[in-house]
Structure 1
Amino acid sequence: MGGILWLASYPKSGNTWVRAFLANLFANQPGPLAINEFNRFAVSDQRVGEYETLTGRAYQDIDDEEVNRLRPQAQRMIAASRPETVLCKTHSRIAVLKGSPTVEPSVTTGAVYVLRNPLDVAPSYADHFGIDLDTAIAYLCDPNNHIQRHDRLTFVYLGSWQEHATSWLGAPGLRCHFLRYEDLLAEPARGFGGLVRFLGLPADPRRFERALRFSSFDVLRRQEEQSGFVERSPNAERFFRGGRAGVWRDIYTPAQLERLIEGCRDGMRRFGYLDEHDRPVETALPIRQQTGAAG
């Protein structure tokens, strides 16, 4: 059993972009892999099949308390589902809820963590969940924030934006590779190249270049327009929105900007989203302190 390599992020931070790159890299096709086939290469920890198998009951008859208690067993089942390492998408914060870990350490081999400026996360989060920007800002600053169960997906404990990042990037002993969304936008070849090296994948320049092209935002958006995307929220018109950095400058009121910075100040300082005067920056600055991430 190879265990689980987590692809972790706060919602709307670039997790799907990273999965798109890896799926196209692994598929190695002459054309882009269909966006609804990404789950061939990376599963989700929100899927309910393991819980139904463990209990012998339909998901609607399993409450959140039981899901929380069974989560370690469900993750062990995910790890055992393939002989090799399983890539598993998660939006969970690393924590212990009522005695059960949100991320089971016994089957965790490492993680890739994708971080994005919370000023850009909040508008995308609002669009995805069908809420207004003020509510999204409150959620990103809320240590009790979670995604409720919906359809056939389990609930997810998120916590606040900065607590989420710290839980992964400061986890003791976790082999974790840190990707910042803004760095991937600025230098995708460098950012994704570092990911390939962290994963120990063989260097193949032509294959790498194709995966970069096939996972570009324009290609992903065009595929969604043509065939839809199973991960699109029913609250949103589309999954792939702008895909840019700095869109917050045209959206926030001064009061909204102040509220989000106040709630995320320490994390924004640490990860380069505020300058030395605690003013938001257009592009991310160098990391001010050691993140604890490896790779």
Structure 2
Amino acid sequence: MFIWLASYPKSGNTLVRAMLSSYFFSKDGKFNFELIKNIKQFPHIEIFQKLGINIKDEKEILKNYIKAQESINQKNSIQFLKTHSYLFNINNNPFTDLNNTLGVIYIVRDPRNIVTSYAHHFNISFRGSAERMINTIEYGGNVDSNNISDRSKVYINSWSNNYNSWKSFDNIGRYLLIKYEDIVSNKEKTLLKILKFIHQLKGINFSVDKKKIENVISSTNFDKMKNLEKREGFVEAKVNPKTGKKIPFFNLGPKNIWKNNLDETIKNKIENSFEKEMLELGYL
């Protein structure tokens, strides 16, 4: 069964995947970009292709989300799936079900800092980024794109709806909320919290491999990952349509401080739109 690593884009999902892939899929806990490939993205167009589904018919894809998950579900192994989708039910087509889902780790980040990170990643203005976060949108769905991550349509919804939708798993004790800011301020404590949650879901006793934990923390340092991207490239980086060059995936990270970047109008727009959730999360 799957443990979902769910988040709105640019909220720290890649950092969590880096830590977990290093811990579970390496012997020594040292991160490299090959390890992160063990945590697949969903939806992913290739899964539907293998099932013989017409990938140009989005209605057919939606009807087969559960079938696609069943096709890759290994019930007795620890499997993670990354998603930026909200937990939808579109025309009676659910995103997932309890036969496939063991639990959810939801990663959240101060939306004021997402504005700038999202703008950089998608090569749009801060104002355009804020508008996307506030309004219900989807992205991707270009099946002919050279960038494989752009081929699948993802229904992300607004920042607030994305966050609120996944909380339904909290009602059945299968939900862990992780704040990006807590990873930055205390990575070890947050990683241990995540690992304990995973082992509890699996009904397995958790014992700490201190050396492995140390290596995970060290090798997933933001500057190290940024330098690794410079040397090797990163498949999830977008391409600037004007220049044809890749936009660096790892940009500012912990140095992205909204107070230094956002003008008052955009800041107020975000805070007014997401006041309830930001108060709940301690961002206001």
What TM-score bracket applies, with the shorter chain setting the length?
A: 0.7 to 0.9
Spell out, residue by residue over 1:73-115, the C-alpha distance to the aligned partner (whole angstroms, 9 max, x if none): 11111214x7413110111111101211123332100011110
- Contact persistence 2:2–2:78 (CA under 8 A): yes
Residue among 247, 258, 269 paired with 1:259? 269
The separation in 2 between residues aligned to 1:207 and 1:31, in whole angstroms, is: 5
Q: 1:234 to 1:220 in 2, by over 3 A?
A: same
Residue among 145, 148, 159 paired with 1:161? 159
The separation in 2 between residues aligned to 1:69 and 1:268, in whole angstroms, is: 34
The separation in 2 between residues aligned to 1:123 and 1:75, in whole angstroms, is: 33
Identity across the alignment (%): 26
Q: 2:46 corresponds to which residue?
A: 49
Q: 1:178 corresponds to which residue?
A: 177
Residue among 197, 214, 218 paired with 1:213? 218
> What SS does the corresponding residue of 1:226 show, helix, strand or coil?
helix
> What SS does the corresponding residue of 2:35 show, helix, strand or coil?
helix
Spell out, residue by residue over 1:112-169, the C-alpha distance to the aligned partner (whole angstroms, 9 max, x if none): 1110000001111111112111111011111x21112143431111111111111112
> What SS does the corresponding residue of 1:105 show, helix, strand or coil?
coil
Give the superposition deviation at 1:241: 1.0
Q: What RMSD, in angstroms, separates the aligned Cα atoms of the two structures?
A: 1.8
TM-score of the aligned structures, taking structure 2 as reference length: 0.88
Q: 2:228 corresponds to which residue?
A: 223
The separation in 2 between residues aligned to 1:174 and 1:93, in whole angstroms, is: 19
Spell out, residue by residue over 1:256-287, the C-alpha distance to the aligned partner (whole angstroms, 9 max, x if none): 1111111111111110100xxxxxxxxxxxxx
- Contact persistence 1:78–1:86 (CA under 8 A): no
Q: 2:243 corresponds to which residue?
A: none
The separation in 2 between residues aligned to 1:70 and 1:17, in whole angstroms, is: 29
> What SS does the corresponding residue of 1:231 show, helix, strand or coil?
coil
Q: 1:117 corresponds to which residue?
A: 110
Q: 1:30 to 1:199 in 2, by over 3 A?
A: closer
Give the superposition deviation at 1:39: 1.2
The separation in 2 between residues aligned to 1:4 and 1:112, in whole angstroms, is: 11
The amino acid of 2:217's aligned partner reads L
> What SS does the corresponding residue of 2:11 show, helix, strand or coil?
coil
Alignment of 1:107 onto 2:100: yes
Give the superposition deviation at 1:20: 0.5
Aligned length: 266
Alignment of 1:97 onto 2:90: yes
TM-score of the aligned structures, taking structure 1 as reference length: 0.84
Give the superposition deviation at 1:202: 3.0
Q: 1:14 corresponds to which residue?
A: 12
Q: 1:208 to 1:138 in 2, by over 3 A?
A: same
Q: Structure 2: 5+ residue runs without aligned partners? A: 200-205, 241-245
- Contact persistence 1:44–1:90 (CA under 8 A): yes
> What SS does the corresponding residue of 1:7 show, helix, strand or coil?
strand
- Which deviates more from structure 2 when the two are superposed, residues 21-30 or residues 254-263? 21-30
- Contact persistence 1:75–1:104 (CA under 8 A): no
Q: Structure 1: 5+ residue runs without aligned partners? A: 275-295
Superposition pairs for residues 194-209 of structure 1, below 5 Å? 194-200=193-199, 201-209=206-214
- Which deviates more from structure 2 when the two are superposed, residues 108-117 or residues 21-30? 21-30
Superposition pairs for residues 237-276 of structure 1, below 5 Å? 237-244=247-254, 247-274=257-284
> What SS does the corresponding residue of 1:6 show, helix, strand or coil?
strand
Q: 1:108 to 1:27 in 2, by over 3 A?
A: closer
> What SS does the corresponding residue of 1:55 show, helix, strand or coil?
coil
The separation in 1 between residues aligned to 2:16 and 2:51, in whole angstroms, is: 31
> What SS does the corresponding residue of 2:102 show, helix, strand or coil?
strand
The amino acid of 1:166's aligned partner reads N
